[in-house]
Chain A
Amino acid sequence: MSIAPAIDDTKHKHPKKHNHYDFRSFFQFDLDKGTIIDWNGSQNILTTEDFIVGLVEGLQEEVGDASAATMYTIGCEWGQKDAFFFEKWFEKEFDQNIRQTNLLFLLETWWWPFTAQGWGRWEVDMGDRKQGFMFINIFDSAVARTLGDVGKPVCYLYAGLFAGFFTELVRKQLSCIEIQCYSMGETYCKFLLGGQDRIDAAAFWMNEGATARDIEKRLRAGEVLR
């Protein structure tokens, strides 16, 4: 026996409610139409871990090593589009322009739908923002958790998503690289976001065997590639 959740009309009754990320409030299941619409009006689909494995391995088979760049690019476009989408729903929900809002609050609010959808919890470390880079930790990455320990970073989709979203948010071209991944046997994933020069340097150091901690230290010491 299974009990299908009824359509929740919390949104219609309380359109300005902000804590709406629990399963029943965030998703509206329309049993007649077979759709899952979330609080912000996006259509959601439920996928299995097999789907994620199929997506990653299928792409790998089709385009080989270019699959990482392909996933990253998909993520970038998703992030850019989501930045515009977010701006609209944020302003509607909070009656406030995103550029007049506390940045950390804004970012938490951006990520909450992703948390509700199963992309994992996050933590933003903006301590180095003035130096032009920042770190994002993801706990329970859907991709890494699915693929397990494969000895290399796998969350290119997330890296692209962050690059795309933040590029639109700050209106400055930013790139992102995953410098530590659950799929490398670590407990969580860590992303570096910044200008292309810093991302290139981090990629180079990673190829030489540097850990996330090494990369953080080198960036904070102001090291760059020559």
Chain B
Amino acid sequence: MLSQLERLSRELDGRYASDAELAFVIDYVRSFNLRVQTYQKLQELESTIVQQACVKMRAIDPGVFVGKNQEDLTRKCVRDLVYGLRATALAVLLNDPDALQEELLLWLQTIMRSLGKSHVCDIMYSALQDVIKQHLTPPQANLVCPLLESNRRILGPTA
């Protein structure tokens, strides 16, 4: 939304925006209440979602939180999961997937690849989607899950 508004303000020079150019603002206003509810629900359920996502991740790959030297990476993974979830929640609230990509994902993609952790991101964002679908209403999940899926595709090994 903010990225789109910024683009619009750059494009408009001495003229009014057309109806087509304003469509995204109207869509945003219409979806605003749902976005706020979704954001608040993610905030409220964060610890439950994170805990259940970790259980699911372990079920998919029992070694997902174990490092190369057998060290326990649970704390780091939970930290990354929480950070990613909060950034995604903000992108839902502001309807700004472009900012999410520019501010976090493009950087994180290179870092996860350098650390050889792309497969963990794949599992993480897949598990998060499953858990979120259990806790959110379908309209709420429809706002969050496409972003989580996009995170998975960008950060995962097939990217």
Contacts and interface: CB of A to CB of B under 8 A. Distances in A.
Interface of A: 1-3, 18-19, 21-23, 25, 102, 104-105, 107-109, 112
Given A1-B13, A3-B9, A3-B10, A108 B104 contact: no
Question: What 6 A-B pairs have minimum CB-CB distances, sorted nearest first?
Answer: A104-B114, A108-B114, A22-B103, A19-B107, A22-B102, A105-B114
A104 B115 contact: yes
B108 interface: yes
A112 to B, nearest CB: 7
A105 B103 contact: no
Contact of A19 (B10, B12, B104, B114): B104
Contacts of A25: 103
| Interface core residue of B12, B103, B110 (most chain A CB under 10 Å) | B110
Nearest to A23: B102
Contacts of A23: 102
13 contacts: A1-B12, A1-B14, A2-B10, A3-B10, A19-B103, A19-B104, A19-B107, A22-B99, A22-B102, A25-B103, A104-B114, A105-B115, A108-B114
B59 interface: no
Contacts of B29: none
A128 B4 CA distance: 44
Contacts of A105: 111, 114-115
Contacts of A1: 9, 12-14
Given A1-B14, A3-B10, A21 B107 contact: yes
Contacts of B111: 105, 108-109
Given A1-B13, A1-B14, A3-B10, A108 B110 contact: yes
A47 to B, nearest CB: 22
Contacts of B10: 2-3
Contacts of A21: 106-107
Nearest to B110: A108
B74 to A, nearest CB: 19
A23 B98 CA distance: 13
A51 to B, nearest CB: 24
Contacts of A107: 114
B21 to A, nearest CB: 16
A221 to B, nearest CB: 28
B107 A102 contact: no
Contacts of B115: 102, 104-105
A51 B132 CA distance: 51
Nearest to A104: B114
Nearest to B105: A19
B114 A102 contact: yes
B102 to A, nearest CB: 5
A110 B111 CA distance: 11
B134 to A, nearest CB: 29
A18 B76 CA distance: 14
Nearest to A109: B111
Nearest to B83: A19
A18 B103 CA distance: 10
B9 A19 contact: no
A19 B13 contact: no
B107 A112 contact: yes
